[in-house]
Structure 1
Amino acid sequence: MSAVKILDDIYWVGSVDWNLRDFHGYSIYKGTTYNSYLVMDEKITLFDTVKKECRHDLLHNLRNVVDPRKIDYIVVNHVEMDHSGSLTKLMKLIKPKKLICSAMGKKALLEHYHREDWPYEVVENNQTISLGKRSVQFIETRMLHWPDSMFSYIKEDGLLISSDAFGEHWATSERFDDEVDQAELMAHAAKYYANILLLYSPLVQKLLASVKESGLDIKMIAPDHGVIWRSSLGKILAAYDCWSRQESKAKAVIVYDTMWRSTEKMAKAIAGGLAKEGISIKMMNLKVSHRSDIMTEVLDAKAVIFGSPTLNNGILPTLADILTYMKGLKPKGKIGSSFGSYGWSGESLKILNEALTEMKFEMVDPGIRVKNVPTHNDLKQCVALGEKIGQAIKRSL
């Protein structure tokens, strides 16, 4: 990919990582981008870099616009190494006059790269610096999603360079929101939020309120991953408001694994009961469903129901995996229940229910366990459980 002009004298100079498939355990089916932005002004400024392995793309794109050695400032909105990994190489080549970051950003840069000799310029929240015709306002966004995170807002263009907020892991040749399929775009944005920012939803709410109160005239949002928002700002801001409020709809996700299909039979029967109540259902067998796709479906679901047979006096490892992952992301306001088959000891329900209680799920029913293969009457009980959960969902909305 070559440099792309996004506004007068402002360019995307990042890298497209077409083949990335895993990001810290987050499944990525269509790659990602590492977005870097170059502002040509009296002080030529580069906002964020790319991961180390993609630095040649960044340098190639920079050279299509300007000799990199003419860059005056480098701004580090976020130190995570997919955005700062090229710094060591760039600092040697460019020798910028200033390396601009937050106070926590400087601390993180020192801890990652151990370079006391870099020309750090620490900026405070809402501090503004001049680039010439343009000015940049820095907005601290601590824990969205690292302590060092900040936004850069260029008032003259209404451009918000938003670090890891409002992004998607999605490799595309297109650079703007209005150039891609809208349904796919929002699906990628939802997956990104569910797996990276859900834990920080209260902070997202505060940030959205703060941006609204500040009166910033935002005309374009340029995140560090995915496409640039220029036509659908209202859509992504409304989505973040909804997701951060953890609003739910009449939807249930059934997360399960099975050994000899007994637990799967129970899952299907529970789904049948939910369907009778008009509830939208997602059946997610952990043998074929990745944890990050499950979290995406959980994002707007009111109920999550877990099923596991008993194995070695416990639950299947796949259930332990998703429960650990979900616990870390802290979904709120969910209804829960559990089910499973067993051969002789039958501890799986107890373990599942303890995990759901720890996550503060509303337990509308302690669930159903069946010895070995479920009978017709057992499956009727599972249907009734689905109906009961469906009714609870409707009462809660």
Structure 2
Amino acid sequence: MAALTQTHQAQIRQRLTIQTIDIDVNTTAIRSLDWDRDRFDIEFGLRNGTTYNSFLIQGEKTALIDTSHRKFEQLYLDALKGLIDLNTIDYLIVSHTEPDHSALVKDLLSLAPDIVIVGAKVALQFLENMVHQPFQSLRVKSGDRLDLGNGHMLEFVSAPNLHWPDTIFSYDHQTGILYTCDVFGMHYCDDHTYDQDSSLLKEDFRYYYDCLMGPNARSVLAALKRIDKLEIKLIATGHGPLLRYELPEWVESYRTWSLEQAKNNAFVVFFYCEDYGYSSHLVRSIAHGITRSGIQVELVDLEHTPHHELREWVAEAKGLVVGMPPQSSLAAQTALGIILAAAHQKQAIGLFEAGGGEDEPIYPLRNKFQEIGLKEAFPPIVIKEAPSAKIEKLCDEAGTDLGQWLTQDRTSKKTMASDTELEKALGRISSGLYLITATKGDVSSAMLASWITQASSSPLGVAIAVAKDRAIESLMQVGDRFVLNVLEENNHQAIMKHFLKRFPPGADRFAGIKTYAAKNNCPILADALAYMECEVSSRMDCGDHWIIYSIVETGRVANLDALTAVHHRKIGSQY
């Protein structure tokens, strides 16, 4: 076992410490230990804190793999300076751009501006929006190698969706260390660098998998296939202890759990050329809408995926989304032929242009899928310029439509099975009728709502239940503003009819409806009984809904003698 070389400790609100330790020849782990953290974003609570792991490899050239969380800024940079002159670092490998691993990239660039940032294409795009300054970069994908000298040859392995779209692994052929960032990690903080006592770790290891990796089980299995050929001696994770002593057991657990998950969960597969046009950007927007319905998303590159894997993806998918590849790509054209041959009429299909300048024509391909009998989940998305906020909204709503189409049978069965005395009793809770209207930049949306109540009097606040598969959910994040329109008794039927109809993706929800702008720029219905301008203060996960608590900033009643429209339900599982 390598010896502990240095420990830096400081008390900053919570217990934060830095551990630096040699884990192999010319290889050092820099572990930021967050002893008291009790929650990780909104995803799950923590019982044993967490760590953020970074790694330094010094061959003839030097590479740093990932940085740390913002709260460790001074501790981490001091530790790194104690190990090396920052200006001698040649490469910073960004495994993915989630802030708990990349928060200090900008700080590092300000101290050592000649560092070359190495990452997947999507990661480099994300970083451009994060650091807001020019930087040197090297884009890598599966199979690419980076020679650091002295035997340290790094090979990169793409692992999209684990659990971010830009994830890559790095494998050092000299040491047999596989650097996996989030994958195989756990939120567990103690003094042990390695997995000496697995009995203490297994529960947290499984909990972490269920929260972060389980939703993308097929992507896990695809990544495991890519690393099967590697002779792995140590897995250097981004969170928790490094895995050395029970390595086969940890890997096999991921395989077993993922196989179980993959059998039971519907998924949509995206076929596109990652490096072409705006494909990656559009995929993220469509996928965001799909995942609202609890449907998994898998990303497949048309140009670099073996033919047998293409057939497997198509055979198992419930839905297919295809981004138009360049006409000049023979590999992509062959892949499209394989997809058409394997597709079947029980699947849903969606097509989008990539905007790369020589896209495969979208409508002939659409006709071929329709001839097979596939259900078109949304009209073809055609773009002629860089994606704007409106295009992103259109893509998000297209994905939402596809997700809802794929879950409609599940929703119908749930409704039929829930007509119990309990459901009937719950349905007797009456509520008002409202229209939520939201605007952010050039994007506007609306939603009929009934699950609304006043939640506080000081400050004045309301709580709104918003289903996770509703498109407006993305406009109701913390800090966003909206208008709560109260519908009037005997004067709401036309408004309900209008807003209950299904709108095509990107359609103007307010066409034909008289509105005027509130102070927060969101639409106020001219026929509303009352309105309130609100700002989202917090969100709580409640199963299939978000409870969105908002502060009421101002409001007005149009008719003091009129009453609020009231909604009565028969059963509690339906609005």
- Cα distance in 1, alignment partners of residues 177 and 59 from structure 2: 15
Q: Which of the numbers 202, 208, 223 marks the counterpart of 1:186?
A: 202
**TM-score of the pair, normalised by structure 2:** 0.44
Q: Are 2:239 and 1:15 aligned?
A: no
Secondary structure of 1:175's counterpart equals: coil
Q: Report if aligned partners of 1:14, 1:49 keep a CA contact under 8 Å in 2.
A: no
Q: Which of the numbers 197, 210, 226 marks the counterpart of 2:226?
A: 210
- Cα distance in 2, alignment partners of residues 32 and 346 from structure 1: 47
User: How do 1:165-184 and structure 2 match up within 5 A?
Assistant: 165-178=183-196, 181-184=197-200
- Cα distance in 2, alignment partners of residues 24 and 48 from structure 1: 19
Which structure has more relative contact order (CA 8 Å, sep 6+)? It is 1
**Aligned twin of 2:345:** none
Q: Which of the numbers 92, 97, 102 marks the counterpart of 1:74?
A: 92
User: How do 1:30-109 and structure 2 match up within 5 A?
Assistant: 30-109=48-127
- Cα distance in 2, alignment partners of residues 247 and 113 from structure 1: 37
Worse-matched range after superposition: 128-137 or 18-27: 18-27
- Cα distance in 2, alignment partners of residues 137 and 313 from structure 1: 60
**Aligned twin of 1:378:** none
Secondary structure of 2:204's counterpart equals: helix
- Cα distance in 2, alignment partners of residues 244 and 30 from structure 1: 25
**Aligned twin of 1:334:** none
**Displacement after TM superposition at 1:237 (Å):** 0.5
**C-alpha distance 147-19 of structure 1, shift in aligned 2 (>3 A):** same
- Cα distance in 2, alignment partners of residues 6 and 325 from structure 1: 45
**Displacement after TM superposition at 1:9 (Å):** 1.3
Sequence identity percentage: 27
Q: Are 2:157 and 1:129 aligned?
A: no
**Aligned twin of 1:237:** 251
Q: Report if aligned partners of 2:37, 2:49 keep a CA contact under 8 Å in 1.
A: yes
Select the structure of larger CA radius of gyration.
2
Bigger helix share: 1
**Displacement after TM superposition at 1:3 (Å):** 0.8
**C-alpha distance 165-347 of structure 1, shift in aligned 2 (>3 A):** same
- Cα distance in 1, alignment partners of residues 219 and 234 from structure 2: 22
Q: Report if aligned partners of 2:109, 2:115 keep a CA contact under 8 Å in 1.
A: no
**Displacement after TM superposition at 1:44 (Å):** 1.3
The AA in structure 2 aligned to 1:24 is D
User: How do 1:105-124 and structure 2 match up within 5 A?
Assistant: 105-115=123-133, 117-124=134-141
User: How do 1:378-397 and structure 2 match up within 5 A?
Assistant: none
The AA in structure 1 aligned to 2:188 is W
Q: Which runs of 5+ in 1 are unaligned?
A: 249-305, 327-343, 355-397
Secondary structure of 1:111's counterpart equals: helix
Q: Which of the numbers 536, 544, 558 marks the counterpart of 1:324?
A: 544
**C-alpha distance 325-93 of structure 1, shift in aligned 2 (>3 A):** farther
Q: Which runs of 5+ in 2 are unaligned?
A: 1-17, 263-417, 432-450, 452-463, 468-540, 547-567
**TM-score of the pair, normalised by structure 1:** 0.63
Residues 256-278 of structure 1: per-residue CA shift (max 9 Å, x gap): xxxxxxxxxxxxxxxxxxxxxxx
Residues 267-320 of structure 1: per-residue CA shift (max 9 Å, x gap): xxxxxxxxxxxxxxxxxxxxxxxxxxxxxxxxxxxxxxx9998383699x99x8
- Cα distance in 1, alignment partners of residues 130 and 83 from structure 2: 29
Q: Report if aligned partners of 1:79, 1:105 keep a CA contact under 8 Å in 2.
A: yes
**Aligned twin of 2:426:** 310
**Displacement after TM superposition at 1:97 (Å):** 3.5
Q: Are 2:571 and 1:347 aligned?
A: yes
> When the two structures are aligned, how many residues end up with a matched partner?
273
Q: Report if aligned partners of 1:59, 1:68 keep a CA contact under 8 Å in 2.
A: no
The AA in structure 1 aligned to 2:230 is L
Q: Are 2:241 and 1:227 aligned?
A: yes
Q: Report if aligned partners of 2:31, 2:52 keep a CA contact under 8 Å in 1.
A: yes
User: How do 1:143-158 and structure 2 match up within 5 A?
Assistant: 143-158=161-176
- Cα distance in 1, alignment partners of residues 158 and 40 from structure 2: 25
The AA in structure 2 aligned to 1:216 is L
Secondary structure of 2:544's counterpart equals: helix
Q: Report if aligned partners of 2:19, 2:33 keep a CA contact under 8 Å in 1.
A: no
- Cα distance in 2, alignment partners of residues 164 and 188 from structure 1: 14
Residues 327-383 of structure 1: per-residue CA shift (max 9 Å, x gap): xxxxxxxxxxxxxxxxx98834x45xx9xxxxxxxxxxxxxxxxxxxxxxxxxxxxx
